[in-house]
Amino acid sequence: MTVSTTLDHTTNRPDTGAGTLDAARDTVRDTDGAADDEVWPSSPFACVDTAFTALVTGPDPLSIDLTGLDPDLGLPGGVVSVAVLRTWLAEHPRNWPALDAVWRELIVRARLDGPAWVVAATALALPGLVRRAATLVAGGWHGDPDDVDAEVLTGFLTALRDHVDVTRPAPYAQLCRAGQRAGLALVAQQRDVVLVDDLDAIPPGPRTPHRPWNHPDLLVQRAVALGLLDACDEQPYIDTRLGKRAIEPIAARLDVTVDALRMRLRRIDERIAAALAKGLLTGATSPEAEQELAKQAAHRQRTRAAVAARTTHRPQLAAA
């Protein structure tokens, strides 16, 4: 089997999502000439394991280059099969720094490098996912255990695709908790239980319900109209801040680094917060305020154009 293992995360890649396992199954079948659907187990977790085995078996197994990670973590050096990495992680379950470093790399690859890496990440998480699903089933689930497994897997994949921030600690634990929450929600439905937020985190006193017309996307559109953020930043801002989408694929699509996009979004947050404090987004705006915002927007656009020109000019000088 031939699987791309490039370290370049800046090119466009296929989207990952809940249907990734089906796509990976088709990919494995096409490349390895696997038999029809009868060879695939019905259990979601077993299906992941079967797909992973196909990816790491043969003369060209799915591999990962660990050279760029901290050598003091004790990880295997160089390019190793993902199967070898899974064995190493199972043998070092409490090496938290190594676990975090590996999972940050796996999450980025799953988001940018296609379905094979989604299967690989899911397979490496199977011990934790299986344990959590088994606990939910043993706690009083009266249906098909595969339903709980599928829900846990869906919660994990959703977090893997969009919701886990790789800059925060313990990304693997975040993924497993997301899967557990999804499974718990399914179990709660069977028990006619309504899950609520952590009561300890809710301040005492009356809570005003959300107004039906409270649409933050409309507020963002007004911010664009006022020049608080550029039109080209509107969709990335909505995707990350409102849609809670992962930042890595968006940065790759915009051809900017993740750090640069984070800084850009943080500055937009600050401008919107300041505008809200002044009432610019919720009330009438004076002509003077509009002129000042337009001036700031023009300055940002000139600065961005100058930076882009310098970036384009440097490779030309190097080539000359």
pLDDT tens digits along 33-69: 444 444 677 789 999 999 999 999 888 899 999 988 8
Q: pLDDT band for position 9 (50/70/90)?
A: very low
pLDDT at 196: 55
What gap in Å lies between CA 103 and CA 99, rounded to an integer? 6
pLDDT at 83: 93
Average pLDDT on 117-142 reads 92
User: Do the Cβ atoms of 78 and 65 come closer than 8 Å?
Assistant: yes
User: Do the Cβ atoms of 100 and 170 come closer than 8 Å?
Assistant: yes
Residue scoring higher pLDDT (16 or 205): 205
Please give the model's pTM, rounded to 2 decimal places: 0.65
Q: List the domain boundaries for the chain.
A: 20-190, 216-319
Instruction: Kindly tell me if the per-residue pLDDT of 1 is higher than 70.
Output: no
pLDDT at 217: 74
Lowest mean pLDDT across 12-16, 51-55, 110-114, 281-285: 12-16
By C-alpha distance, which of 149, 153, 144, 134 is closest to 190? 144
Q: pLDDT band for position 152 (50/70/90)?
A: very high
